[in-house]
Structure 1
């Protein structure tokens, strides 16, 4: 629905702008110059990219936060983005005026939002895997309960027993063929134990294992992210060295200009008149890497 609105609304605005033109000029539309036709397109608002960023951020949030619940979400998001990219290109070329380019350093606050969503997604997926799946209970059963390190008998072990006679009187089944016991997925004491229906010790073992899995999962993902950032930095090392070199050369040029100006004016860089024979001009330059260094030039 959002994609349909993105395509229909600019088209309606374009038609409205065209209808506001006089009838005589409208008939000569075919012979209009290119700039006149572009002027009748929809004006590209300075905040025109805000809905696009918002749409992508919402999609990224839903895909990453709940990817453990629906692993096919990234695939469908990829297909959607392929069509979205072509539709946006057609919309910008056919329905909007050419936007005025602006030089920006990065995507601004959207980067922090995406980074926060990514960190939240790690925590959310860790809890989804730990508390909504049988991954941890099966792991605990295999290594703690089972004698053969297998899942034989896991289903029966994961079901608690409830005695039908323990129902309140108004909940008792009327059927004479009703069973005496029923099973439900939980880890509780049986009805004939000293503490019936309380949590069994294995429940606390599984809970501790789930919390430990959340902590381990988060730390492993953080280590992987740090490794990827180290392998693929935001700015290549060669570019960093080139920027430092340019800063160094720029500072050297500034120092040379200041020295030449001071030599011609007969003053040092602080404005003090130079002595006739031995004058020292103090300057502050930049060493390799952009760190300032002091020096003196004797004239």
Structure 2
């Protein structure tokens, strides 16, 4: 009896697949809910691809600020494509199974693009600080080679930080009866809760990744804007102050659009366990879907050169 119990306890189980949830309590309305989701995904992909093409095809936009905007647009495309297949599969076809290894791959890229987006927003804040505090040396400081190196560093940082996560989940022993995920995509925190094992290492490493990437980035962005504000207040003319601050509005809104949902997701996971599952799902969708939708709108409305370049791309496609 003791031997059989010992064998049972020592057995290692990994589910072949997980079962994804849609919108909790609204399963009967998934067909209707898929309409706004499909629209948002279409807007996110179209808007960000348009921004990338607009910058690429407009020589006058080949400047550091717009190169960073291209990085942001490509990151938003990646973030959108990370969740689009499984979310629409659940909403359109009620296809809720995701293979174990496919789940780990999706989880890696979902968190990867989130960390990259945070890093790109930090790079953009540095760009704005240099442009305002040292405008005459702006082009000399942010050369093309420096921007390429910054882009490679951002990708390397996200890769190195997140590479261990799939392996930390793969080593865990899972409960045979617990395969239901809380969302229509794979979060690290969501997957590790299904394990029948000590997940202390996963919790600590997940916390380390959040603090060392998004946490550090947010503090440095606040520092950048503090220095920017100090520099702007030192300008003699009110018109110059307004013009300098106006160049930061789009980036500041993009920061708010990204970090407010990030803070919301973190708070919900830490302190909102008593809240309905619907609230958890909606906050997660806002965090992953809304920033890629709003960023192109923010930059096309606030930046006349981007808006005009995007319109030229659209007209060229209409004529072709």
Identify the TM-score tier after normalising by the shorter chain.
Answer: under 0.3
Q: Indicate the structure whose relative CO is greater, using CA pairs within 8 Å and at least 6 residues apart.
A: 2
TM-score computed with the length of structure 1 as normaliser: 0.23
TM-score computed with the length of structure 2 as normaliser: 0.22
Greater per-residue helix proportion: 2
